[in-house]
A and B are shown apart, each in its own frame.
Chain A
Amino acid sequence: MSRVLADLKAFAKQFMRNPFGAAFSIGFPLLLLVTFGAMFSPSDSPEVHLLIQDLDESSLSFEFIEDMNQSAMNQAGSFTNHMTESTYVMNEAVIREYELSGALVIPAGFEEKALNSTPVDVILYLDYSSTTDGIIIDAVDAAIESFEASLTVSNQVVGVEIVEIDNGEFVFIDFFLPGIIALTIMLNCLMILPSLMADYWSHGYFKILKTTPLRKWEWILSKLIWYVIIMGLSIFLMLVVGVGVLGAEASLTPIAVAHVLAGIILFSSIGILIGAWAKNTDTAAGVSQAIGQPMMFLSGIFWQLDELPGIIQTISKVFPLTYLGEGLRATMIDGNDSVSLENLAVVVFLAVVFFIAASRLISWKEK
């Protein structure tokens, strides 16, 4: 283990002194994130589609809807209200089907309770992760305030019960952040590592190391540990910028951490295989680009796969980056752990296969 640590320390120093290495592991991902994040950031006046369902159909409920319309007009963004018949059962599926931002339900018995000064709640179906949640809450609060002001009875009668839903709205930064994390891992481990190894060949570093007690697997292990450290730092910074500055709604779950670790092992192993086989900078760069570039653009990192032609969707299935990206997105954004675990299984399986291949197949010997 002391040999692994010695190698790790020396490699870390060399890596950080190589402007190329630091730029690709930290600078480039942040730049991509900020550029794309800003380019596709939601506008200040998004469209709000709020459905109002009146189950009371009384004069006070009409009055409340009037107030709601009034306060909506005062809000930024274009606000449209839809009224629906009272027989409709409100749920998330309805909201997604009609591409609504949310829904407000006035319960039956609203008027009676309000007149008796019995507290009564309107029910708000709201997606906190959407770009419009703040606008809707403000509008509802304002409507309640003016509604209560017009009542002769005491105020604080009408409250809001919020039902959290996922309205299915596409928020680019939420889509992009997990993807760029996956991409960064692929880029550094699969595309940069072979070039670093080519350097080792051309300078005879492997030859020197081979004469020392350092074993091949120790060298590989030290690279994996290094990539966990540097990718960890990079991902931390991406989360700080993505969540803190660009407003992504992402959480770093244990499953996401598992994805990151498996992804590093997977792509480093592929990188090491390429680097061990290529032995020179040109071949290493050529091969890793031939594999990495199609993967970068056809794995649903920059564009949603289901909006791309069917053939590309099929091709994307062969790229491991697809599974890493989808898996991270499922757990970090959608909170859909079962989908994430399915993808994780693929990544872990491939990681094991390629790790074994890398530690078995690579040779430090020259012909």
Chain B
Amino acid sequence: MPNESIITVANLKKHYGDIKAVDDLSFDVARGQIFSCLGPNGAGKTTTVEMMEGLRTPTSGSIEIFGVDVTQDYASIRHRVGVLPQDFIPFERLKAPEAIEYFGGLYSREMSTRDIDRLLETVGLEHRKGIIAKKLSGGEKKKLGIALALVGQPELLFLDEPTTGLDAQARRNLWGLLEDLRNEGTTILLTTHYLDEAEKLSDDVLIMDEGKEVARGSPEDLIGRHCGGRSILLHEYGEDSTEKLEAMGLAAERVRNDVKITVGEGVSVRDVLRRLDSGGIRYKDVTTAEPTLEDAFISLVGGTIVSGELRK
């Protein structure tokens, strides 16, 4: 069954005193998709995910996974789910292969040395087999955490910020791995503050802020709905204000020395450039840009983006 829901969350709330960490959240996750939970620090992503993992008790609302109410009986689905917590620390005195063997035992999966090696290779830890986890680097620890989440060959994978702390190469490798898993039928729910990651990987994105849903849809959908289409960047625009451009009916905005003009629906870039020329607007150079999830996010949440990462 395509689009069958594997997770159904309804009116979920988690309050810590006056803090509404999660405030009336409802969504569902379809089988075989990569679902991203996107939002700035403190948006309530971890709280939401950990309630789904049976680690925190909701103040109210319901969570069904595989048709099971996890607030009542998480235990019955544990063998079908893999989890990487945001604050994962590996068992410090175990070596990576030992930790994998351990989890193999917990998930009743007989792991041969070859299985273990293959999993270590999958996450890029094959050269770190001999040292105890305490001595792994931060990124290597995260890789081990991902490996442990995969040991049980889960149908559903929860990854809370899986790429934070990974170098660019490792991030890309993980993206590839997650796409492979998705193609093999695994449902993946991840949280991230990297917009490019959410845009590239996800089939479905939930943008949240202050415990609430801000927007929901596929990346294309969100971009289409919340950004005004493509934009033109005028480099070294001659004047101080964008008044002149606005008077011409263009949606313009200063970005340091440059000016960004959003090209509306049904308008071509060439039209806009022609209008600029006839209006005597001077600039040194021009580039065009496709809108990204970043633009959608800024228009929705109003934060800033520093090197691809969300800030509010």
Contacts and interface: CB of A to CB of B under 8 A. Distances in A.
A352 to B, nearest CB: 25
Contacts of A212: 78, 103, 106-107, 152
A18 interface: yes
Given A13-B94, A211-B83, A365 B56 contact: yes
Contacts of A54: none
A214 B85 CA distance: 17
Nearest to B89: A203
A146 to B, nearest CB: 68
A357 interface: no
A13 B87 CA distance: 23
A203 B99 CA distance: 15
B93 A7 contact: no
A210 to B, nearest CB: 6
A7 B88 contact: no
Contacts of B75: 213, 215
B277 to A, nearest CB: 61
A9 B105 contact: yes
A5 B101 CA distance: 11
Nearest to A6: B105
Instruction: Tell me what chain A mostly uses at the interface: helix, strand, loop, or mixed.
Output: helix
Q: Among A18, A211, A214, A366, which residue has the most Cβ atoms of chain B within 10 A?
A: A211
Interface string A175-213: 000000000000000000000000000011101111111
A217 to B, nearest CB: 12
Nearest to B77: A213
A366 B54 CA distance: 11
B300 interface: no
B108 A211 contact: no
B55 A207 contact: yes
Given A13-B94, A211-B78, A212-B152, A6 B102 contact: yes
Contacts of A311: none
Contact of B55 (A5, A7, A205, A365): A365
A204 B93 contact: no
A116 interface: no
B93 A213 contact: no
B55 A366 contact: yes
Interface in B36-67: 53-57
Given A210-B55, A212-B103, A3 B108 contact: yes
Q: Among A6, A13, A212, A215, which residue has the most Cβ atoms of chain B within 10 A?
A: A212
Q: Among B107, B148, B152, which residue has the most Cβ atoms of chain A within 10 A?
A: B107
Nearest to A364: B55
A203 B87 CA distance: 9
A214 B106 contact: yes
Given A10-B91, A204-B89, A208-B85, A366 B106 contact: no
A329 to B, nearest CB: 37
B85 A14 contact: no
B106 A213 contact: yes
Contact of A6 (B55, B106, B132, B148): B106
A51 B54 CA distance: 77
A204 B106 contact: no
A10 B100 CA distance: 10
A43 interface: no
A277 B88 CA distance: 22
Interface of B: 53-57, 75, 78-79, 81, 83, 85, 87-89, 91-94, 98-99, 101-108, 132, 148, 152
Given A2-B105, A10-B105, A211-B85, 16 more contacts: A3-B108, A6-B102, A6-B103, A7-B102, A9-B102, A10-B99, A13-B93, A13-B94, A17-B132, A204-B85, A204-B88, A204-B89, A207-B55, A208-B85, A365-B55, A365-B56
Q: Which 4 A-B pairs have the closest CB atoms?
A: A6-B105, A10-B102, A211-B83, A14-B93
29 contacts: A2-B105, A3-B105, A3-B106, A3-B108, A6-B102, A6-B106, A7-B102, A9-B102, A10-B91, A10-B105, A13-B94, A14-B92, A17-B93, A18-B93, A203-B89, A204-B85, A205-B91, A207-B55, A208-B83, A208-B85, A209-B106, A211-B55, A211-B78, A212-B78, A212-B107, A213-B106, A213-B107, A214-B106, A366-B55
